[in-house]
Amino acid sequence: MCHPRAKSMKLIVILIVLIFAAACSDQGTFSKDYLEREVTLGDRNYGYRVLLPKNYNPEKKASVMLYLHGSGSRGDDNYLQIEGFDVAVFDLKERFDFVIVLPQCKKDSFWAASDMADYAVAALDEAVREFNGDPDRLYLAGFSLGGYGTWQIAAAHPGKFAALVPVAGGVVGERPIKPDDRAAILPEVGRMLDSPEPYKAVANAIGQTPVWVFHGSSDDSVPVEFSRKMVQALTDAGSTKVKYTEYANEGHLIFGKAIREPGLLEWLAEQKRNNPK
């Protein structure tokens, strides 16, 4: 005969398992907020997602952010990139006043690879057309792998973006670029990285584009020196529109904190191409 306490514990375990299974299987709980879209480049179709602001008005020009995820969300399911993003921003979504475009980098690749960069920018451009986006108010943000992508894609498309938000990223990695990666990278980015002063080359390409950089001082995945060097390179290049927030004793996983940084959303709202601010 089963002891009442043992029976009660068994029921609790079953309940926990059922709740966990339901949570894992029900992607619709939050993914319904992220519209599924597809863009075609050459003979290949690429999926991406779009998050509309709560008060989206199709008759009104909208700011649009291209968000580049980190390495853990790579794949081809058009889902992992929104799962990680939503965990970080779930309680902020009602405050966003811009459309967000979320492409997904394929496995074993990176955002500055020519095909991934072209796809990400094409997804952004498609969303601008579909959702009445304002070409003068395009933002580019990314975390980790996406932080690298933010610097590199912005440098490859000077003047396209009104503001950049690279989080825990860099320009040049700690190890030499692999031959296969070197062959895949955007040609203009490859030339910058091969130059005697790659940080200077990227800073010169970015120019006066407003940038707010975030990094944790104890990041053991992407060294904080990478962001410090890039900020210094922008300053040396004459940029008057670079902001830098370094979180003391914080590690790599700071995107959720960065997106909540007081004043960030308001700062983004002020940015416009050729805006005197």
Task: Sketch the domain layout of the chain as residue ranges.
Answer: 30-270
Largest Cα–Cα separation, the chain: 80
CA–CA–CA angle 59, 83, 107 (5° rounding): 105
List the alpha helices (DSSP H) in 46-144. Answer: 80-89, 114-130
The CATH number of the structural domain formed by 30-270 is: 3.40.50.1820
pTM of model > 0.85? yes
Reading the block at residue 157, the tokens are 């498309």
Mean pLDDT in residue range 180-199 = 92
d(CA 136, CA 273): 5
Q: Which residue in the block uniquely carries the two structure tokens 């967000």?
A: 100
Which among 68, 83, 57, 62 is positioned nearest to 116, based on CA atoms? 68
Reading the block at residue 99, the tokens are 């459309």
State what percent of residues in the chain have pLDDT above 70. Answer: 88
Indicate the pLDDT class of residue 10, thresholds 50, 70 and 90.
low
pLDDT, mean over the chain: 91
Indicate the pLDDT class of residue 211, thresholds 50, 70 and 90.
very high
pLDDT digits (tens, 9 = 90+) for 233-256: 999 999 999 999 999 999 999 999
H/E stretch holding 270: helix 264-270
**pLDDT score at 30:** 84
**pLDDT score at 9:** 53
d(CA 76, CA 190): 25
User: Looking at this protein, which amino acid is placed at residue 145?
Assistant: L
d(CA 160, CA 154): 8
Mean pLDDT in residue range 41-45 = 95
d(CA 237, CA 219): 26
List the alpha helices (DSSP H) in 26-109. Answer: 28-31, 80-89
Q: Looking at the predicted structure, is the pLDDT value of residue 277 above 50? A: no
Q: Looking at the predicted structure, is the pLDDT value of residue 36 above 50? A: yes
**pLDDT score at 11:** 52
Q: Looking at the predicted structure, is the pLDDT value of residue 27 above 70? A: no
Q: Looking at the predicted structure, is the pLDDT value of residue 93 above 90? A: yes
**pLDDT score at 17:** 40
Q: Looking at the predicted structure, is the pLDDT value of residue 21 above 90? A: no
User: In Å, how far are 15, 50, 171, 212, 221 from 101, measured between CA atoms?
Assistant: 37, 5, 23, 19, 26
Q: Looking at the predicted structure, is the pLDDT value of residue 6 above 90? A: no
Which among 136, 106, 130 is positioned nearest to 118, based on CA atoms? 106
